[in-house]
Each structure stands twice: as structure tokens, then as C-alpha cells.
Chain A
Amino acid sequence: MISIKGLNKIYTNGTKAVDQLSLEITEGEILALLGPNGAGKSSTIKILTTLSGFDDGEVSIAGYNVDVEPDKVRQSIGYVAQETGVDFFLTGRENLVLQGHLYRLNKKEINLRIEELCEYFELSDALDNLVSSYSGGMRRKLDIATALIHKPKILFLDEPTLGLDTQSRQSLWKYIRKLNGELGLTILLTTHYLEEADKLSNRVAIIDKGQIKVIDKPEALKDQIRGDVVSLQFDKPADKNQIANGLGTNDFVKDSMWEGDKLHLYVSNGATSIPRLIENCNELKADVSNVSYSRPTLDDVFIKYTGSSIDAQEDGGEEKWWEKWAGKGGGGKWAKKWQQENQETDSSDASEWSAEEAAEWHKNKQWSEEDAKSWEDNKQWSAEESAAWHAEKSAPDKQSNDKNEQQWTKEQADQWHKDKQWSEDEKADWENNKQWSAEESAAWHAAQAEQSAEPVEPQDSAKAEKSEDQQQWTDEQTEAWHKNKQWSEEESANWANNKQWSAKEAAAWHANKSASAENQSNEKQADADWSKNNDQAWDKKSQWQGSKK
């Protein structure tokens, strides 16, 4: 149906948009071109739809050469562009009628076709309203309907669900599948949504820098990476080869791939291999700041063939201040994460989880909305846990700070009285450190406020006692402070360590507790919830930028 041989397209500014691209699409197939923005997806589609010329190669659509018989090609294809191609100041019907006339249909044919299409896309109610009053999903549906007015054999969809919310996106997928299944339309779509490529297409072509890197069924692509993917985020890794080789000695590690400071390990079982991997990292003296594991997604396939994640490529380069402000940079990342995780939950344990955990998720939801607060919670928790963990491990090289600190404060009360004259000497020094104590006190106050705000549970009553202890100790502030000063300088590094370590331990703890699945899915959901909003904001932004172009 579509045959492309050695297609080349170089823009006047020298960028190679399409580089020796060859592709065969058979009748009745849905093929997804998957790639980041600027990979050459849209350029390819524009060439195939006669909108754009090319430098070299041979393109035939439905048996017609695009160079020789463009009008024949145009009669046999429908095209839905990234931008909404329908006129906002016309009604849905007027748009369809105009499109029908442009495709040389007569009035009778047009009316018949409008009836069919409206029924198909459930547009009848809004048909005589101005398009400007339509929702994004409806506009897209009308856009597709206008592209189908002349019964084309091939439909080109350029980022069909860009800027749509999840619901409209899924409803649109339903229509696209139906068009392919019932009408036998050959569909070529471009997308940078992994889920879309995965769920919609018979085959996926991963395109990067104008070249097709791999083309196969989505399952076959994912099968290339069996097991789980464990991703370790390192804090300035010194020797990447050493780390990759060191971790690779485990027989459960099948493959590894660096993406920036992130190492993706393809392992047979993620949950059981994380503790081992963390241990190995400690032996290699490599600081891991974040651990995650997931089932392989198309993004992992993407990373395998292009060396970077689809969204890392998209973000590309410096983040502009306004993008930061609008949450674009983060949005991209979160959108990706959400995509990925949505995919997982959808495909595997979504229903189970949602049935069991609905109530708990709702509880957690408000928690996730108060993100900052929850982070504070986690911090406290990790501090507590760190003490416990230290005690258990009784590691000789690390001090159990909390205990030390408490003993020491009791001892030093008297000594402080002795040292009172000394404090006059140190006044300047104290002045210097004042800002530090201010920060600390704020943090302490915040922590205390939170503890007292929490409902009383056995754990919390212990906490409350502790805080009373601390209050006494604060009454004798200065003395404690002097000791604290030394301690804090020593321990600031330690504290930073602990922070990282708590991230590490969180993973280990999750694995040990084997409550990991539940917890993670909760967090996932919270993340998803949040990132969805962000995603939308980002989409809006990108839409805006698109239209500005």
C-alpha cells in the first residue's frame, strides 16, 4: 500500500530530516512511527501526503508515485495533521461539506457521507454547532471525519492524540482500531507516546534522526528484553565501565545500558536483585541516589536502539526558563513516567490493585497532593529508620547519631555552665553560625509542628516523648548548640550520606518488606495523578508553542 525506497530529505538549513528511509506498509496494517520530536516523523508523513518534496528516493502510495501523480495520491489518502485542520468559525457540517466539495463529491454524496460519518463518530448532536465550541476530543474526531469524507484507502495520522486528555485519547484509540478493523483502512500514525504505539499498532517502527532503527511487532520488540529493568541513578559515577562490569558479574544481569548517569540493568527478577545490586554498588563505592524497577516497555526498546530515552531526546538541550516555569522540562519526564507506569498497571495488575486498594489510594491521594509535606514525612521517616538500621547493622564506621547526640546533650549541660566565659570569646563565631541555627530551628519547628499534627498512634506517642525531650534540650539551647556546631559540621556530610542512603535503603526496605508491590503501586498512582496534570499543562504549552510557530 505504501512503499518507500531510499528516501532522503535535507532541509535548506542543512538538517537531514529523512535519511535513507525505506519502508513497506501492507494493506490493512496499522504502523506506528515512534520517535521523539524532530526524529523525522512529520517530515516523512508530509512527503507521503504530497505536502512536501524530497531530495532523493522513490515513494509510491496506493500504487501512485507521489511525484508523478500527486492528485491521484491525494484522492486515495486522508490526512489528519498535528494541528487541528478544521475551521473553528464554521460548523461541523460546513467543514464536512467544504471538504466534500474539495474532493469533488456532489451534494448527494456529501450528505450521505456526512450521515455515515456522524453516526460513526457520534458527532450528530454537535454537527451544526461552531467548531470553536467543540472539546479537543471532538475536534479531533471531526478532523478525522473530514479526512475520511472521500473514503480514502490510507489514513495518515500525525500525532493524533497530542494534547488530549486520557479519556479522549482512549476513545480515539477505539475509533482508530475500529476504522482499521471494520473498514480495513491502512493507517500510518506517528506518535511519541509509547503506550499509543504499543496498543494501537500492528508494527512499530522506531525512528531516530531520520532513520528507522528497528521495525517489528510491539510484543516482539519487548520480548527482546525479557525479565525486569532495574534502573540505578548514580550520583556522579566515577567510572561507568567499572560499575557496569562490576554489576554485570552477577549472573542474573543480562544486559546493561547507560543513559546519562542512569544505568539500566536488564535482569531476570527485579525485586530479588535490587539488594544484591545495592550491595555491589557499595562495594564499588558508587553512590546510588535512586532505584526503580519495571517491566520492560517500549521505552526500554527505544533506549536499546537509540541509546537514550524518548523523552530525554525530546527535552534536549538547555531548559529555557519559561519552560521551567511552565513545567515543561519536568512535564516531559513526568509524562513519560506516567505513560510508562500507566502502561504497566493497565497491562498487568490494574484491576486487582484498584479493587483492593481503592480506599487506601484515596487516603493516599490527599497525601500526594501535599507533596512537599509528604516529602518532609519521608525525610523524618528515613532518619528514624536510619537509626534503627544502623543499630541493627551496628556498623562500626558509622555513628548512630541520634543516640550519640542525646547522651551527649545530657552530659554537656554542666560543661556549658563552665564554658560560659568562653562563650564571650566566641560571640563572633556564634554570630557567624547564627544563620545556621536559624535554619535548623525552623526545620526543627516544622518537624515538631508536623509531629504534633499527626494522629496519635503507638509510634507517634513515642515520637511525642522524643519531642518533649528535645524541647528540654532546646531550653538549654546554647550548650547543646555548641556541641551541635561541631557535630553538625562533621555530620553535614554524614547527613548528606544518609539522605542518599535512605533512598537506597528505601528500595532495600521495600524489597525486604515485600510490601513493595503495594506501596509502589500506590506511589505510582499518586505520581500518575500528579503527572497527569503536569502532562496536560505541558501539552497545552507545547500546543501553544506549536501554534506560535
Chain B
Amino acid sequence: MLADTWYLFNKYVKISMRMPLWSLFSLIQPLLWLFIFGSLFNYFASLPGFPAETYIDYFVPGVLIMTVLFGSSWAGVSLLREISSGTVDKMLVSPASRSAIVLSRVLHSAVQAVIQAFIVLVAAWLMGANTSLNPIYIFLGLFVILLLGIAFAALSNGLAIKLQREEPLVIMGNLMTLPLMFFSSAMVPEQFMPEWIHTIASVNPIQYATSAVRAALSVEPDMTTFLTGLGVTAAFAIATLYWAISAFKSIRD
């Protein structure tokens, strides 16, 4: 299974490398947000009780989460394309592991999202954002982002198999990401949230991932928050991956 995953993962990487422009294209949106929100909400930082010195300092982990959400939530679309082009059938008639087919796709999307997130992080530094520069903490932050990417790519792939059509998949992708992001502390600190949003946030995996990334990238890293967030995100990723693989195995009707 691991060998199959590796070969298939290589295939997707090759395909992405052949259209690097397209991969860069999906960076435009997070960069825009970084720029727009960074300027738009600048005065937030002067509110009493705001946990960071400037808004952009606060927002960097949020925009990284946004990058990975929007980068991996469309992973299922290309699965549908592969199904209709016949390449999935080609894999399925071979003795290749069925789990490897899903795993390679999900890993590819997640890795792509992490690379994008790193580019956004560099852009944030260039814009003067103040984060931890310790490579270990940056690695830990990006690791959480990888896990979140795996989770959402798996969700999207699983939904693609269940829905079988592109349009509802895109709608579901939007539904999954946008509200969940606003129900987290990606953009607004927890202490500014109304009570009911706070309640929702406390069961929102994106909230845990955001706190973990923020805890890792903070100038004063907070390992307790990080480990809680990491644990929840990892559990979420494993659950969604399991669901996507079992959905894929049931493709045989």
C-alpha cells in the first residue's frame, strides 16, 4: 500500500509540476486577503484586550488556515474528473491498493496546500508580520496545516464519491469552509465572539487547528494549546481519511 501510494503520489506531483502557474494561481486569493484584511482591520489591534500588537500579527495564522482550507477543499473535483476520464477504473482493475489511491490524492493536495501556506507566510513576513522565526516552531505550525489539509482533502474526496457530481461538490466545499472559518478565531479573537459563536467554535476542528498554529507561530509559543490543537486536528484528519477510503471502496456498485 505504501509503495502504491508513493507511485501515485509521484504521478500527481508530476502533473502539478507541469502546471506550476495553475498552482500559483490559487495563491492569489490568500495573498489578497492578507493584504486586504491586514489593512481593513488594522484598528482592531487598538481595541482593549486585543491579543496582538498589530492586526496582521494576529491574522497570519488565520490566513494560513484559510490558504489550506481553500486549497484542499476542491481536491474532490479532480477525482471526479479522473473517474470520468477512466483513469480511476484503470487503477481499480490493477491490484493496486484501494486505500493508496485515496491516500495519494489526499497527501498530494495537503502537501500542495502546505507549500502554498509557506509562501503566504513568507509574504506575511515581507509585509512586516511578527511571528516566531524558530524553524522548529514553524515546522510544527506547518505540520498542523498539513493535517488540516489532509482532513479537508479527504472530506472533499469522500464527498465527491458520495455526490458524484461537480456542482453540489463545489457548493458543499463552500459550505464546509467559509462558515467554519468564521466560527473560529482565524480572524476575530475568541474574547470578541458572542457566546453562541464561541460555543460552536469549541466543537469546530478549524478552531483547534487555528489555535495550534497560532500557539506555534506566536512569539511566545504555547505548547499546551498547541498539543491540544494538534491532537484534535490529527483525530479529525484520521476520521475523515477513514471515511473517504471506505467511501471509495464502496464505489464498486
Contact = CB atoms under 8 A, between A and B. Distances in A.
Contact of A74 (B3, B19, B84, B94): B94
Contacts of B95: 71, 74-75, 102-104
A86 B87 contact: yes
Interface string A46-72: 000111110000000000000000010
Contact of B87 (A85, A546, A549): A85
Interface in B1-49: 3-4, 7-8, 11, 14-15, 18-19
A104 B8 CA distance: 13
A83 interface: yes
Given A102-B4, A547-B85, A90 B90 contact: no
A138 B65 CA distance: 44
Interface residues of B, number: 23
A53 B253 contact: yes
B18 A83 contact: no
B168 to A, nearest CB: 15
A549 B252 CA distance: 17
A84 interface: yes
A12 B253 CA distance: 9
Contacts of A527: none
Interface in A414-436: none
Interface centre among B4, B89, B90 (most CB of A within 10 A): B90
A297 B40 CA distance: 76
Nearest to B16: A89
A12 B74 CA distance: 28
Interface in A65-121: 71, 74-75, 77, 79, 81-90, 94, 98-99, 101-104
Contacts of A44: none
Contact of B86 (A52, A82, A130): A82
A247 B92 CA distance: 56
Nearest to A97: B7
Interface centre among B7, B8, B14, B87 (most CB of A within 10 A): B87
A340 interface: no
B89 A83 contact: yes
Given A89-B18, A94-B11, A99 B94 contact: yes
Nearest to B19: A89
A74 B93 CA distance: 6
A540 B4 CA distance: 34
A49 B91 CA distance: 12
B96 interface: yes
A11 interface: yes
B253 A79 contact: no
Main secondary structure of the interface of A (DSSP, over half): loop
Contacts of A103: 94-95
A309 interface: no
B93 A51 contact: yes
A81 B84 contact: no
A504 B253 CA distance: 53
Interface in B213-253: 252-253
A146 interface: yes
Given A51-B252, A90-B15, A146 B7 contact: no
Contacts of B94: 74, 99, 102-103
Nearest to A156: B93
A476 B234 CA distance: 97
Contacts of B91: 102
A519 B91 CA distance: 52
Contacts of A88: 85
Interface in B83-124: 84-87, 89-96
A516 to B, nearest CB: 46
B14 to A, nearest CB: 7
A103 B96 CA distance: 7
A259 B15 CA distance: 51
B93 A87 contact: no
A52 B93 contact: no
Contacts of B7: 98, 101-102
A239 to B, nearest CB: 47
Given A86-B87, A94-B11, A98-B7, A49 B253 contact: no
Contact of B93 (A12, A49, A94, A101): A49
A132 to B, nearest CB: 10
Interface string A367-393: 000000000000000000000000000
A428 to B, nearest CB: 59
B93 A84 contact: no
Contacts of B84: 83, 546-549
B121 to A, nearest CB: 29
B71 to A, nearest CB: 19
Contacts of A104: 95
A449 to B, nearest CB: 51
14 contacts: A12-B253, A51-B93, A52-B253, A81-B90, A83-B86, A89-B19, A94-B14, A98-B11, A101-B7, A102-B7, A102-B8, A102-B95, A130-B18, A146-B90
For the complex of A and B, 7 pairs with smallest distance between CB atoms: A83-B86, A85-B90, A85-B86, A102-B94, A102-B96, A101-B7, A79-B93
Given A74-B94, A94-B11, 11 more contacts: A53-B253, A71-B95, A74-B95, A79-B93, A83-B86, A90-B11, A98-B8, A101-B7, A102-B95, A102-B96, A146-B90
